[in-house]
């Protein structure tokens, strides 16, 4: 009986496929690329990425996708949703790494078959770090209700929640930052009564009060030293205001900001007048790849919000003594921005110390709501600034972080709708050329269409984080906070 049913189903399927395929004789060729979402046309991808599933916006009745590589071929059929088999995809990428794959799409629209202009995927051997963490939050400007920090394995579609504010009394949670893409070194802040900075060091979780009596605010933006012994943070008094003009939205600015070092071994906060005081606003500090200096952004203090459009941050560098944990005594300006220039934010050095990636916007210190925000890359060896036209879009491109091999970086881009940030991956080849980026693939390619949350601060890491939401719940409610002095 079972065999009979199987034969009937197979025959029916065969008849159906035959009927479907038979009409491909009168196929029309198109000079245009198919309208696919996400835009995966002519992109460079790593050999360890999850299947690049996509949808055909024309909503054809049938679609045939053929991936033709140098040594193998992969075919996928569907209607308007193309989802590759994970097993076949993985095998195909392994076989074709280092090659350029041609993608040919044929679609049946209103009964007629169309053959679109083919496009390519460069499958490079340089692998990307397999784990990505991000904060999912509604772009409700300065407020929150439900916040989750998530970790996604980008080699497949597995995702897990590493912190959920439903378990921590609905408090605000800031984004998760990894130190040198190391899953055993990371931190994030939880606000609220039982909150603090959660430090993950070798899998051990600590809850730290990063504000002492001499500071006007807790630690805000920061980064961890490669040794794991120190963290460098800015402390900011943050003010949100609203633009009136459509297109512009929120403006968040600091009325005061300084830099501090947190010494995790000795529970102390190290300050210096050179990166403190009220004359200048210092923010977005990050350690250099070798850990011997700190990059940060600085702007002269202004009357805000009146002079907000003249608030331009320059990119600077200061030495760091790993032995004593002290700031250096001299500040070098790497990129100077006067009142006619742009404003620099979020400097991130590549792990090989070759490049520094940062955002530029017209003014201020909150690029995510600045439509004009673009990424730029500074060659730290030559001082050359790269504008990255292949990478940037008409909307905000920022919140970037590197892969451990310095060949890939991820950033949040609002290029699709101007409102919701999504993680895009970009390849930087050995010559330092950045390639067209592609968005994080999803099992259901309609996922982004119906998602009403933004991906904040996507960060790559080489492995899985050693904690989960239940651990964070425990730390939040039960662990004692460590006061740094």
- Site of interaction with another protein (CB under 8 A): 138-141, 143-146, 148, 161, 164, 166-167, 240-249, 251, 305, 308, 395, 416-420, 444, 446-447, 449-450, 452, 468-470, 473
Answer positive or negative: Cα dihedral of 445, 451, 457, 462.
Answer: negative
Name which of 273 and 306 has its Cβ closer to another protein: 306
**CA gap 258, 280 in Å, rounded:** 8
Name which of 53 and 401 has its Cβ closer to another protein: 53
Tell me the longest C-alpha to C-alpha distance in the chain: 85
Q: How far is the CB of 444 from another protein (least distance, A)?
A: 4
Name which of 192 and 432 has its Cβ closer to another protein: 192
Q: How far is the CB of 12 from another protein (least distance, A)?
A: 23
Q: How far is the CB of 85 from another protein (least distance, A)?
A: 17
At 14, is the secondary structure helix, strand, or coil?
Answer: helix
Q: CA of 183: how far to CAs of 50, 73, 132, 472, in Å?
A: 20, 36, 10, 15
Closest CA to 259 of 316, 182, 176, 187: 316
Q: How far is the CB of 8 from another protein (least distance, A)?
A: 27
Name which of 6 and 446 has its Cβ closer to another protein: 446
- The pairing of strands 112-115 and 28-29 is parallel
**CA gap 261, 233 in Å, rounded:** 6
Residue 21 phi/psi, 5° resolution?
A: -80, -25
Q: How far is the CB of 289 from another protein (least distance, A)?
A: 36
Name which of 21 and 161 has its Cβ closer to another protein: 161
Helix intervals (H) in 77-117: 86-96
Q: How far is the CB of 63 from another protein (least distance, A)?
A: 17
Torsion of CA 475, 401, 455, 468, to 10 degrees: -30
Name which of 2 and 245 has its Cβ closer to another protein: 245
| Residue located via tokens 């009986």 | 1
Name which of 364 and 458 has its Cβ closer to another protein: 364
**CA gap 296, 283 in Å, rounded:** 6
Q: How far is the CB of 223 from another protein (least distance, A)?
A: 29
Radius of gyration over every alpha carbon of the chain, rounded to an integer in angstroms: 25
Q: Are 91 and 97 in contact (CB under 8 A)?
A: no
Name which of 45 and 149 has its Cβ closer to another protein: 149
Q: How far is the CB of 79 from another protein (least distance, A)?
A: 13
Q: Are 260 and 327 in contact (CB under 8 A)?
A: no
Query: Looking at the chain, how many residues does it have?
Result: 485
């Amino acid at each position: 009986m079972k065999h009979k049913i199987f034969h009937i189903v197979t025959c029916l399927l065969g008849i159906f496929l035959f009927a479907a395929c038979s009409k491909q004789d009168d196929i029309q060729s198109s000079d245009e690329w198919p309208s696919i979402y996400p835009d995966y046309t002519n992109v460079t991808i790593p050999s360890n990425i999850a299947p690049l599933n996509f949808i055909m916006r024309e909503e054809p009745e049938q679609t045939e996708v053929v991936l033709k590589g140098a040594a193998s071929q992969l075919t996928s059929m569907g209607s308007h949703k193309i989802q590759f088999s994970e097993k076949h995809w993985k095998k195909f990428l392994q076989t074709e790494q280092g090659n350029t794959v041609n993608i040919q799409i044929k679609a049946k629209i209103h009964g007629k078959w169309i053959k679109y202009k083919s496009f390519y995927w460069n499958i490079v051997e340089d692998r990307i770090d397999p784990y990505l963490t991000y904060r999912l939050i509604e772009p409700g400007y300065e407020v929150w209700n439900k916040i989750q920090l998530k970790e996604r394995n980008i080699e497949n579609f597995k995702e897990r929640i590493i912190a959920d504010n439903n378990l921590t009394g609905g408090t605000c949670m800031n984004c998760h930052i990894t130190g040198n893409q190391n899953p055993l070194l990371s931190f994030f802040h939880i606000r609220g009564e039982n909150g603090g900075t959660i430090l993950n060091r070798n899998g051990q979780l600590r809850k730290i009060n990063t504000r002492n009596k001499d500071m006007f605010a807790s630690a805000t933006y920061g980064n961890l030293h490669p040794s794991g012994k120190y963290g460098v943070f800015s402390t900011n008094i943050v003010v949100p205001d609203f633009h009136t003009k459509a297109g512009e939205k929120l403006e968040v600015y600091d009325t005061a900001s300084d830099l501090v070092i947190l010494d995790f071994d000795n529970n102390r906060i190290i300050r210096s007048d050179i990166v403190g005081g009220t004359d200048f606003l210092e923010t977005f500090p990050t350690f250099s790849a070798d850990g011997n200096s700190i990059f940060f952004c600085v702007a002269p203090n202004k009357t805000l919000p009146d002079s907000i459009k003249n608030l331009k941050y320059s990119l600077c560098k200061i030495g760091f003594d790993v032995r004593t944990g002290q700031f250096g005594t001299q500040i070098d300006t790497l990129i100077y921005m006067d009142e006619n220039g742009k404003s620099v934010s979020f400097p991130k050095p590549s792990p090989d110390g070759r490049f520094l990636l940062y955002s530029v916007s017209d003014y201020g210190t909150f690029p995510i709501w600045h439509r004009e925000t673009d990424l730029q890359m500074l060659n730290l060896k030559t001082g050359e600034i790269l504008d990255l036209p292949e990478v940037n879009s008409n909307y905000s491109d920022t919140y970037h972080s590197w892969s451990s091999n310095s060949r890939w970086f991820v950033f949040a881009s609002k290029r699709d709708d101007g409102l919701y940030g999504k993680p895009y991956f970009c390849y930087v080849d050995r010559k330092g050329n950045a390639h067209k980026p592609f968005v994080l693939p999803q099992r259901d390619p309609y996922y982004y269409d119906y998602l009403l949350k933004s991906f904040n601060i996507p960060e790559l890491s080489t492995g899985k984080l050693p904690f989960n939401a239940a651990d964070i719940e425990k730390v939040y409610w039960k662990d004692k906070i460590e006061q740094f002095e």
